[in-house]
Amino acid sequence: MSLKPKSNLELIKNGMFGENTIFRMAISLCPSIAVTNGMKNGVALGISVVFVQTMVNMTISLMRKFIHPKIRIPIFMLVIAGYVTIIDLLMATYARPIYKEIGLYIQIIVAFASIFARAEVYASKNKVFSSACDGFGMGVGFLLAMIVISFFRELLGKGTLFGYPIVSGSPLLIMILPAGGFLAVGLLMGFFNWIDMRFFGGKGASGV
């Protein structure tokens, strides 16, 4: 964390680009491959994550004076699980067809390292509004990554976007197969590293 406090806008931008969950930090990878075979699923999961991340950060920040540091991990877990249950039940009621496909991954949000990490690193030490901005930025960064990955996978794998046909001809079946997910993420990650190195003089994602 930097020493001087960042403005709220900077916080949001940091979450979206500087510390993008998937391409820069390389955490919470599971759903980035699992649900990105279509844009609809990717966007649905991304929006759920924005909601959970923002709400969790706000709640933890509100409670930060009352949480004893020794038992903070179970408390964070319970707060996250609470909001995930809300999203899970809402999706099950109002978005039945999508829920059938990605229901398991909605429930898995509970074990997301990125949400837990932001609660621990940022929200437990900062004011409510800036925590909400931080959470929102991280969530939107995740959503963006999901959109980028699912855009390529759906376009190349099925020739459609949101289910509407865009290009005709025989699509690359491999892109919607499980293996294609890994390949797409790997190639995109390498591409962003290349841009970062070529134009911004960065060292590339630290990653694992």
CA distance 49 to 144: 11
CA distance 119 to 82: 14
Residue 171 as a binder of other proteins (CB under 8 A): the answer is no
- Pick from 18, 85, 121, 129 the residue near other proteins by CB under 8 A: 85
Measured from the CB atom, is 143 or 149 closer to other proteins? 149
- Pick from 111, 156, 161, 172 the residue near other proteins by CB under 8 A: 111
**Which stretch in 11-19, 81-89, 129-137, 144-152 sits in contact with other proteins by CB under 8 A?**
81-89
Contact, 161 vs 56, CB < 8 A?
no
CA distance 85 to 138: 20
Other CB atoms within a 10 A radius of the CB of residue 136 amount to 21
What the block records as the tokens of 195 is 């841009």
CB of 160 to other proteins, least distance (A): 22
**Which stretch in 8-16, 106-114, 124-132, 163-171 sits in contact with other proteins by CB under 8 A?**
106-114
CA distance 113 to 119: 10
List the interface residues with other proteins, window 11-30 (CB under 8 A): 26-30
What the block records as the tokens of 95 is 């978005």
Distances (CA, A) of 34 to 126, 151, 164: 33, 14, 21
Residue 174 as a binder of other proteins (CB under 8 A): the answer is yes
Maximum Cα–Cα distance across the chain: 60
Residue 172 as a binder of other proteins (CB under 8 A): the answer is no
Contact, 5 vs 170, CB < 8 A?
no
How many residues form the binding site for other proteins (CB under 8 A)? 46
CB of 78 to other proteins, least distance (A): 6
- Pick from 89, 121, 166, 167 the residue near other proteins by CB under 8 A: 89
Contact, 174 vs 183, CB < 8 A?
yes
Residue 63 as a binder of other proteins (CB under 8 A): the answer is no
Residue 173 as a binder of other proteins (CB under 8 A): the answer is no
What the block records as the tokens of 160 is 């459609």
User: Which stretches of the chain bind other proteins, using CB under 8 A?
Assistant: 26-31, 33-34, 73-74, 77-78, 81-82, 84-85, 88-89, 104, 107-108, 110-111, 113, 116, 174, 177-183, 185-187, 189-191, 193-194, 197, 204-205, 207-208
